[in-house]
Amino acid sequence: SQQGEEDPQALSIQEGENATMNCSYKTSINNLQWYRQNSGRGLVHLILIRSNEREKHSGRLRVTLDTSKKSSSLLITASRAADTASYFCATAFSEGGKLIFGQGTELSVKP
Amino acid sequence: GAVVSQHPSRVICKSGTSVKIECRSLDFQATTMFWYRQFPKQSLMLMATSNEGSKATYEQGVEKDKFLINHASLTLSTLTVTSAHPEDSSFYICSAPHRGGGSDTQYFGPGTRLTVL
Q: For the segment B18-39, what is each residue's pLDDT rounded down to a tens digit? A: 999 999 999 999 999 999 999 9
Sorted by sequence, the CB contacts under 8 Å of residue A39 that are 6+ apart come out as A85, A86
Query: What distance in Å separates the CA atoms of residue B69 and residue B78, rounded to the nearest whole number?
Result: 6
| B63 has a chain A CB within 8 A of its CB | no
More confident residue, B14 or B41: B14
Among candidates B38, B65, B35, which has minimal Cα distance to B50?
Answer: B35
The answer to whether residue B115 scores a pLDDT higher than 50 is yes
Tell me the pLDDT tens digit for each residue of B58-85. 999 999 999 999 998 999 999 999 999 9
- In whole angstroms, how far apart are CA A101 and each of A87, B1, B50? 10, 23, 18
B106 with A2: Cβ contact below 8 A: no
B98 to chain A, closest Cα gap in Å? 7
Average pLDDT across chain B, whole number: 93
The answer to whether residue B101 scores a pLDDT higher than 70 is no
The answer to whether residue A36 scores a pLDDT higher than 80 is yes
